[in-house]
Amino acid sequence: MKLLFVADPLESFKIYKDTTFAMMREAQRRGHSLSACEPKDIRWQSGTPVTAFVRDITLTGQAVDWFAAMQQTPTERTQAVKDFDAVLMRKDPPFDSEFFYITHLLEQAEREGASVFNRPRALRDHPEKLAILEWPQFIGPTLVTRDVQDIRRFHAGHKDIILKPLDGMGGMGIFRVREDGLNLGAIIETLNKDGTQTVMVQRFLPAIEHGDKRILVIGGKPVPYCLARIPQGGEVRGNLAAGGKGVAQPLTARDRQIAEAIGPVLAERGLLLIGLDVIGDSLTEINVTSPTCFQEITDQTGFDVASMFLQALEAAHAFRH
């Protein structure tokens, strides 16, 4: 297959942990050809299909200078997006206006015949914080609101709470407020910006001390191991980007129950790869933009997550054709 990866700049990759790199490495091992671009390289002009300025790359196997590109700059070669066998949308969050716009360009490419994973419409329809609302049976006490008094009442009822913005990533903007309510007013002002931005509030889950588990689901099927991201040094956040320690472990019965309930539904909607975040027995987020942790799980358990992903991608391509 000819694969196009839509991602952040290749030069920014930390290949020892980058999931998109792991996908590329396995794809090349299987004989697929690799091209890459950034969202800014995708364009549409009336009378022509959606096109992208792309670089055709091969992986060198080196830690430094890890890829070789046939083009020195992306603008040397342009190609219709529909001419690739699969397009992998791997742009990291935040899901901002530009991310929103690129999903529309990629959806137009789909209408022209492109196969995009994850599907652009599904990316728009499943914001990572709010997607959990569809499965209330798996989540802890949660409030989504702009209203200050709503948040204060929720705190009064649950005593120990977590507040977070809807567009955060990597643990950014997450606050814990305990029973004493210290700084609750200031935190609300910071997050809801005088009532103009919506906030998610959840009861604090003490099980975070055992880790915020990332459960990967590929083609509707759970990877048998998750990565528990354990907070370090008094942090409340387990995110690896916030200094959490990643420990791979087998799925529990509850983990599997959640994954097997949600995974097939979202796969049917065009989400080939999702990452479920679970603390204890409670689902806290559904990651759809560019779920990570392939390499950490593989390195610690020997289970080849990238191979499972490429098998699912090949199967999806074969099904379409």
Listed in sequence order, the DSSP H helices in the chain are 19-29, 97-111, 120-125, 148-158, 184-192, 253-268, 294-301, 305-320
Q: What's the token pair of residue 204?
A: 């604090």
Considering the four listed CATH numbers 3.30.470.20, 3.90.650.10, 1.10.10.10, 3.20.20.70, the one that applies to the domain covering 207-320 is: 3.30.470.20
User: Which span out of 86-100, 166-180, 213-227, 237-251 was modeled with the highest average pLDDT?
Assistant: 213-227
CA atoms within 13 A on the CB side of 124: 13
What is the residue whose two structure tokens read 């929103």? 100
Active-site residue among 128, 212, 277, 296?
Answer: 277
% of the chain at pLDDT higher than 90: 88
Strand partners, 274: 217
Q: How far apart are CA 218 and CA 267, in angstroms?
A: 8
For the entire predicted model, the pTM comes to 0.94
Active-site residue among 82, 119, 164, 213?
Answer: 164
Helix or strand or coil: residue 67? strand
Q: What's the token pair of residue 78?
A: 């342009």
Question: How much is the pLDDT for 139?
Answer: 98
Listed residue (131, 127, 88, 122) closest to 258, CA to CA = 131
Active-site residue among 212, 255, 285, 296?
Answer: 285
Q: What's the token pair of residue 145?
A: 């609101």
Active-site residue among 91, 229, 239, 296?
Answer: 229
Amino acid present at 315: A
What does residue 145 show for φ and ψ, rounded to 5 degrees? Answer: -165, 160
Query: Do 2-120 and 207-320 agree at the fold level?
Result: no
Amino acid present at 219: G
Q: How far apart are CA 236 and CA 179, in angstroms?
A: 15
Active-site residue among 214, 239, 255, 296?
Answer: 214
CA atoms within 13 A on the CB side of 165: 18
Residues 65-78: what's their mean pLDDT? 90
Residue 82 catalytic? no
Q: Name the band, by pLDDT with cuts 50, 70 and 90, for residue 242.
A: low
Domain 2-120's class?
Answer: alpha beta
Residue 214 catalytic? yes
What is the residue whose two structure tokens read 């299909």? 49
Q: What is the distance, to the nearest Å, from the Cα of residue 63 to the centroid of all Cα atoms in its chain?
A: 25
Residue 164 catalytic? yes
Active-site residue among 55, 129, 203, 213?
Answer: 129
The answer to whether the CB of 36 falls within 8 A of the CB of 5 is: yes
What is the DSSP secondary structure assignment for residue 251, as one 8-state letter? P
Residue 83 catalytic? no
Q: Which CATH superfamily is domain 141-204 in?
A: ATP-grasp fold, A domain (3.30.1490.20)
Q: How far apart are CA 260 and CA 228, in angstroms?
A: 19
Residue 153 catalytic? no
SS3 percent helix, strand, coil of the chain, rounded to 5, is: 35, 25, 35
Total length of the chain: 321
Residue 77 catalytic? no
Residues 103-123: what's their mean pLDDT? 98
Beta strands in the chain (DSSP E): 2-6, 33-37, 42-43, 51-53, 55-59, 67-69, 78-80, 86-89, 116-117, 142-145, 161-165, 175-177, 199-203, 212-218, 221-222, 225-230, 245-250, 273-279, 282-287
Q: Where are the domains of the chain?
A: 2-120, 141-204, 207-320
Q: Which tens digits make up the pLDDT trace of 291-312?
A: 999 999 999 999 999 999 999 9
Question: How much is the pLDDT for 95?
Answer: 85
In a 10 Å sphere around its CB, with 0-12 CB exposed, 13-18 middle and 19+ buried, how is residue 260 labelled? Answer: middle
Listed residue (126, 119, 199, 197) closest to 162, CA to CA = 199
Q: Which tens digits make up the pLDDT trace of 189-219?
A: 999 998 999 999 999 999 999 999 999 999 9
Amino acid present at 194: D
Active-site residue among 26, 237, 239, 255?
Answer: 237
Q: Which helix (H) or strand (E) holds 110?
A: helix 97-111
Question: How much is the pLDDT for 72?
Answer: 82
